[in-house]
Amino acid sequence: MPDAVLFEVTAPHIALVTINRPEARNAVNGAVAAGLEAAVERVEADPDLWVAILTGAGQHAFCAGADLKEVAAGNSASLATEKGGFGGFVRAQRSKLWIAAAQSHALAGGLELLLSCDLAVAAEHANLGLPEVKRSLVAGAGGVFRLPRALPKAIALQMIATGEPIPATQAAQFGLINAAVPANEVMPVALDLAHRVTANAPIAVRESLGVARRAADLPEAELWTVSREASGRVRATEDFKEGPRAFIEKRAPRWTGR
């Protein structure tokens, strides 16, 4: 049986993580949850990996959410891990940037996986939604509070209360995703974003993300402290010296991640 999650390094400093259950519309089962948790840990542990792209195999779905066959069989607990929550991903502690590349629909838990990423690219034809209320469920993997943070309040509440999705083109207009493009351009656009990130000093990127991710949760007085501490850690790195040196020498910087 093929691995439920594939992991490969497709370019310097970039990992590609693929949910590999196209026959089940990449729905999350226990193997997917374990595989995604392992992928997060691998990215975090490898100092040479700076960005990860999360996608789904096939052309029919980025991820259809929880595997209802597993739920019906009483295996709901296997769809989450202790560290990562649903899919081994939505609550995982990640310092590095993740990009969702949705080649098709991202619904229910699939949208919650996308919302857990930092950036997202989706196919123009894709629908994004939380249909849980249509089955007397709550989108409990972060969707009901992350969606209102990512969209205008009225649009988010409409999606949550009606269970109806919005097209990727509309999601891009509202800023839920970074771009809606033809399906065959999803991965190239996601890779372009990844390359644009890896052109920068990796520790500075991680420290900046660490502050930005807490912007909605902390009062401004605390954010000043968090930001100052992040700046201090960056100043202690070799890359902090390399940036100005490369500028003076009129060359591209050579980041080491140290």
Tens digit of each residue's pLDDT (9 = 90 or more) over 120-159? 999 999 999 999 999 889 999 999 999 999 999 999 999 9
pLDDT in tens, 160-173: 999 999 999 999 99
Q: What is the dihedral of CA 170, 173, 14, 103, to 10 degrees?
A: 20
| Residue 61 belongs to domain with CATH number | 3.90.226.10
Label residue 253 by pLDDT band (50, 70, 90): confident
- 147 and 164 in a single domain? The answer is yes
pLDDT above 80: residue 2: no
Q: Do 10 and 66 sit in the same domain of this protein? A: yes
Structural domain span for residue 44? 5-198
Residues 162, 164: Cα–Cα separation, whole Å? 5
Q: Are 58 and 102 in contact (CB under 8 A)?
A: no
Number of compact structural domains in the chain:
2
In the residue annotation, 112 being an active-site residue is answered as yes
Single residue among 156, 180, 198 that ends a domain in this structure: 198
Number of Cβ atoms within 10 Å of the Cβ of 98: 24
Average pLDDT rounded to a whole number, residues 110-117: 98
Query: Per the residue annotation, which of 37, 70, 112, 207 is the catalytic one?
Result: 112
Catalytic residue status for 207: no
- Identified catalytic residue from 8, 23, 44, 132: 132
Q: Quick one: pLDDT at residue 1?
A: 58
